[in-house]
């Protein structure tokens, strides 16, 4: 899995939708299909990433996740499809992506690896999560 860079492939889906198409790409995914792939990738990373913590630093996962997290909580309009198992309850919003990225954070932090905890804290995850929690609780 490490040699074939499977984690890097999953991480390529951790970006705001709609995705930019690659030049020379013959096959185009619809927005609904891309959203489904994105949610599946985040769910898979929640299981696989805690098992390969060295790749966390090699691929700069903390930065990618926090940038994606910021996209999920901003107020930009997003017309999600929300018609999949993973996208349940998320039509026309980024709620599904937020739910799964928070699960990924929880999965990473449950490893109790101090390097990951320090990396995420240094990048400001605690104030960001507390701010969004206050916003949703109101």
Task: State pLDDT tens for residues 21-44.
Answer: 666 666 777 788 888 889 999 999
pTM higher than 0.85 for the full model?
no
pLDDT value, residue 30: 79
Average per-residue pLDDT for the chain = 83
Residue 7 is predicted with a pLDDT of 92
* 103: CB partners within 8 A, 6+ apart: 42, 43, 46
* pLDDT band, residue 5 (cuts 50/70/90): confident
Tokens of 76: 């930009």
Query: Mapping DSSP to helix (H, G, I), strand (E, B) and coil, where does residue 65 land?
Result: helix
Residue 10 to residue 40: CA distance in whole angstroms: 9
Torsion region of 73: left, alpha or beta (phi above 0 gives left; psi -120 to 50 gives alpha): alpha
Q: Over the stretch 94-118, which tens digit does the pLDDT of each residue have?
A: 888 888 999 999 999 999 999 999 9
pLDDT, tens only, 122-131: 988 888 888 8
């Amino acid at each position: 899995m490490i040699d074939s860079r499977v984690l890097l492939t999953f991480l390529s889906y951790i970006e705001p939708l709609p995705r930019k198409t690659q030049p020379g790409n013959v096959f185009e995914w619809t927005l609904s299909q891309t959203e489904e792939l994105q949610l599946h990738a985040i769910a898979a990373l929640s299981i696989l990433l805690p098992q390969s913590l060295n790749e966390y630093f090699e691929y700069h996962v903390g930065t990618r996740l926090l940038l994606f997290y910021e996209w999920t909580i901003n107020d930009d309009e997003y017309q999600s499809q929300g018609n999949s198992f993973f996208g349940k309850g998320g039509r026309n919003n980024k709620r599904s992506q937020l739910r799964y990225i928070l699960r990924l954070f929880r999965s990473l932090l449950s490893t109790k690896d101090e390097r990951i905890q320090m990396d995420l804290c240094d990048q400001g995850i605690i104030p960001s999560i507390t701010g969004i929690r206050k916003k949703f609780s109101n």
